[in-house]
Structure 1
Amino acid sequence: MSTITRSGRVGVAVFLCAVFSLRADRSVPAGPPRTTSLAPPAAFTGTGTGCRVPDPSGTGGCVTPAMAWTIAEVRATTGATPGACWDRHAWNPRSDHPAGRACDYTIGRIGRFPGPRTVARGWKLAVWLRANNEALHVNYVIFQGRIWSREHDAEGWRAYQGAGVYNVLDVSGGHWDHLHVSTVD
């Protein structure tokens, strides 16, 4: 990735090397696969909005009906359960967590960069959520320093900038150790 010149200077990819050298396995993370082999979910046909369904992740808070459906479909398809959904997120006034429209799925262990196999499993879920965004009412997904959103679908997985709140070089701030999914309603 970076090269050392005859003068001993490091080449231009120093920033990227610094980011990826934070990873425990010292490898450049693989990007998302283009397709998923997971079965498509049943489409959410419910109505109503608002945080009114008890949060199944056990926070004592609530989630929207669409998020509750997404959680159930993720569990039925992959067996995965969210680590956390509802949260005050006082440090981020634009967060979807207090509105019950967001859940985080831990990939490996919180606070640690996951290895390649674990990252591949995370990408499998992320790509499935994107591929089924209409059926599940998914608005955006953040994982491994990248974001996909309905609004910018044509751009694919873009570099995540932290929304002006998070340090993307941090293992949790950059969503390296967990996958974030938000629904429209």
Structure 2
Amino acid sequence: MPRTSNETPGRRRSYRVLVGLLVVAVLAAGLILVGPRLVGPLASQGGSLLGGSACTVETAEGDIGLDRETAKRATTAAALLSRGLDAPDTTGIDDAVIQRLIDGPADDAGPSLHCRGSAANDLQVEELTPSGLTPRAEQVRVAMAEVFGDQSLGGFAPGGVGQGHGGESTHYDGRAIDVFFRPVTEENRRQGWVLSHWLVAHAEDLDIQYVIFDDEFWSAHLARGGWHYYEAPAPANEILRHLDHVHVDVIGGGDD
């Protein structure tokens, strides 16, 4: 015989609803407490951007999402201010974003801006210009000079280069530029990251494919975006690890 109860179905339903609400409240409180600790490490590994934001900047106050145009303005402002020059209009950009892009993390130089990748797939293959760069790579060189002034550049030469890089290096196609920050010091690393962030923010406009610096790389082919660990080939010295220079290359076109 089924057991009887003094509890009516209505009262039982009310009790279950109350328990359910309490569980939801506890879970929500837990997410509020640990949320920043979950998002932060993922973002630092290049895997998490806020919501639908094209880019995210990690700040001491938390991660701040930016659209692509705002990221371009912010990184340009940081580049000019770090050179002691006047910045463009930064209305609407949190001061913490600009400061983080200039100073980098408080404890160690490293990536602070993460952007989603987006590689154009309808570009034509290009021939070298007299500088030894393809027109797309030359466009990157000119754009960097307009913002960063004179830089120590390498990885290309009139007529092209045929040695000094890996077997299938984009340097041999005139599609890559190395920007040197020597010697390897904390300040030079921070300056290298100012440039690296600017390149990533402007990657869509300049058809940039890869940016490599300081044991990290960013790829236009990775839609999830972010920075990822770069495994340097042996002997993994400061040159091969890209500790003393920022490598930037452009999309080759065709089947690339």
1:99 maps to what in 2? 173
Describe the SS at the equivalent of 1:172. coil
Describe the SS at the equivalent of 1:108. coil
Conserved? CA contact 1:83–1:103, under 8 Å? yes
Change (3 A) 1:134 1:91: closer
Correspondences of 1:51-90 after superposition (within 5 Å): 51-55=127-131, 62-86=132-156, 87-89=161-163
- Matches of 2:112 and 2:150, distance apart in 1: 19
Q: Unpaired runs of 5+ in structure 2?
A: 1-106, 115-122
Q: Unpaired runs of 5+ in structure 1?
A: 1-27, 36-46, 56-61
Alpha-carbon shift at residue 33 of structure 1 (Å)? 2.2
Q: Normalising by structure 1, what TM-score? A: 0.65
Letter in 2 for 1:95: S
Max Rg structure? 2
Describe the SS at the equivalent of 2:153. coil
Alpha-carbon shift at residue 65 of structure 1 (Å)? 0.2
Conserved? CA contact 2:165–2:171, under 8 Å? no
Q: Deviations over 1:55-114 (max 9, x none)?
A: 2xxxxxx110000010000000111435213222365222000100001000123xxxx2
Q: CA RMSD in A?
A: 2.2
Conserved? CA contact 2:213–2:243, under 8 Å? yes
Q: Deviations over 1:99-142 (max 9, x none)?
A: 00001000123xxxx22111111101001100110101100000
Conserved? CA contact 2:214–2:241, under 8 Å? yes
Deviant stretches of 4+, over 6 Å: none
Are 2:202 and 1:123 aligned? no
Q: Deviations over 1:37-61 (max 9, x none)?
A: xxxxxxxxxx854232122xxxxxx
Percent of pairs identical after alignment? 26
2:72 maps to what in 1? none
**Worse-superposed segment, 153-162 or 125-134:** 153-162
- Matches of 1:122 and 1:159, distance apart in 2: 16
Q: Normalising by structure 2, what TM-score? A: 0.48
The structure with the greater share of residues assigned to helix is 2
- Matches of 2:239 and 2:111, distance apart in 1: 19
Letter in 2 for 1:160: Y
Q: Deviations over 1:131-162 (max 9, x none)?
A: 11010110000000100001124241100013
- Matches of 1:172 and 1:119, distance apart in 2: 13
Aligned residues: 134
Describe the SS at the equivalent of 2:151. coil
